[in-house]
Amino acid sequence: MNRIRIITGIAACLALMLVQSAQKVQAQRTTSMRINEALVINEDNYVDDYGRRGGWVELYNTSANVVNIAGCFLTDDINEPKKYPIPKGDVLTKISPRQHILFWADSMAWHGTFHLNFRFQPDKSNFIALFDSDGKTLIDSVTVPAGQIPDVSYGLEVDGGLKWTSFAKVTPSTNNLTLDKNEKIENFKQNDAKGIGMTLTAMGVVFLGLILLYLIFKFVANMAIHLTKLRSKRAAGDASTDSGDISGEVLAAISTALYELNEDVHDIERTVLTIQKVRRTYSPWSSKIYSLREIPRK
């Protein structure tokens, strides 16, 4: 039995280690990255950490795991896939699930990890590609058409999607598709302008909750009372069973047997009642009546 438990424990540990290893491998997969948005001409838009304006490209993590893109490559030339190696050792290269990361195409790589060593050409089409750490596996690429309008970005209509479009309202490091209005809320406002339906709904929910609580507490109380009565009946039944199983004839026979046994064991003298006067020494000095004093007469 102990051997079976030991083997089972070892198997469980191995399975857990395999799952964790698979998760780690999956978490490091860079193939889930997508080029999400790019701005070629930046005249009056987003600024970098140095207060400068320049073109930028946004990457998006489409997976449900953290992806570290350190060691991958960004390039604007398909024939030079290793043009900009993303530095290792920067914690910001770890992209959380469904999150974005922004790189500046300003030819100022000495400014930090997220500044590329190439810039976009405003009057030409611009090719952008992301290669894996081997420098050969193409993860994603896009060609931004020529003739881009200043401060209008080119990106995926939905983050990580397939359809590309132009955005007059650029969205660096955030979702491309933003919902400014909630259709359900707008319909509710339109159909219930005075809030009567909302009030009735809220009161109905509260009263329904109170009724459910009342029914639950009542059911529990009734069950407790029923169980208490049932236990009392069982206890009374056990007590009556102990004395009720013996009939009167049996009790009479037992009494007779005990009497006969008493006659055989003890002699006749034990059954004779004798009354003898007990003499005790009496001293008037110890009597309480002599210690009482008479109440004086008025």
Tokens representing 94 are 């770890």
Question: What are the sequence ranges of the domains in the chain?
Answer: 27-167, 181-209
Cβ neighbors of 172 (< 8 A, separation 6 or more) are 37, 39, 46, 56, 58, 100, 102, 153
> In a 3-state reduction of DSSP, which class is residue 8?
helix
From 36-40, 59-63, 223-227, 277-281, the region with the lowest mean pLDDT: 277-281
Q: What is the pLDDT averaged over residues 167-185? A: 75
From 71-80, 228-237, 264-273, the region with the lowest mean pLDDT: 264-273
Per-residue model confidence (pLDDT) at position 24: 46
From 20-34, 39-53, 119-133, 214-228, the region with the lowest mean pLDDT: 20-34
Q: HSE of 228 in the Cβ direction (CA atoms, 13 Å)?
A: 6
Per-residue model confidence (pLDDT) at position 256: 80
Q: Percent of the chain, pLDDT > 90?
A: 47
**Domain spanning 27-167: CATH 2.130.10.10:** no
Please report which confidence band the pLDDT of residue 26 belongs to, taking 50, 70 and 90 as the band edges.
very low
Please report which confidence band the pLDDT of residue 23 belongs to, taking 50, 70 and 90 as the band edges.
very low
From 79-88, 201-210, 273-282, the region with the lowest mean pLDDT: 273-282
Per-residue model confidence (pLDDT) at position 15: 59
Per-residue model confidence (pLDDT) at position 19: 47
What would the pLDDT profile of 266-287 be if each residue is shown by its tens digit? 555 555 556 666 566 656 666 6
Q: At what angle do helices 196-244 and 183-191 cross, to 10 degrees?
A: 100
Per-residue model confidence (pLDDT) at position 140: 96
Per-residue model confidence (pLDDT) at position 276: 64
What would the pLDDT profile of 231-245 be if each residue is shown by its tens digit? 888 887 665 555 556
Tokens representing 115 are 């500044």
Per-residue model confidence (pLDDT) at position 80: 95
Mean pLDDT of the chain, nearest integer = 81
Please report which confidence band the pLDDT of residue 45 belongs to, taking 50, 70 and 90 as the band edges.
confident
CA distance 170 to 37: 9
Per-residue model confidence (pLDDT) at position 196: 82
Q: In whole angstroms, how far apart are CA 125 and each of 40, 69, 152, 261?
A: 10, 26, 15, 125
- pTM recorded for the entire structure: 0.54
- Computed on alpha carbons and rounded to an integer, the radius of gyration of the chain in Å comes to 49
The whole-angstrom distance between residue 277's C-alpha and the CA centroid of its chain comes to 92
Q: Percent of the chain, pLDDT > 70?
A: 72
Cβ neighbors of 53 (< 8 A, separation 6 or more) are 42, 43, 44, 45, 46, 47
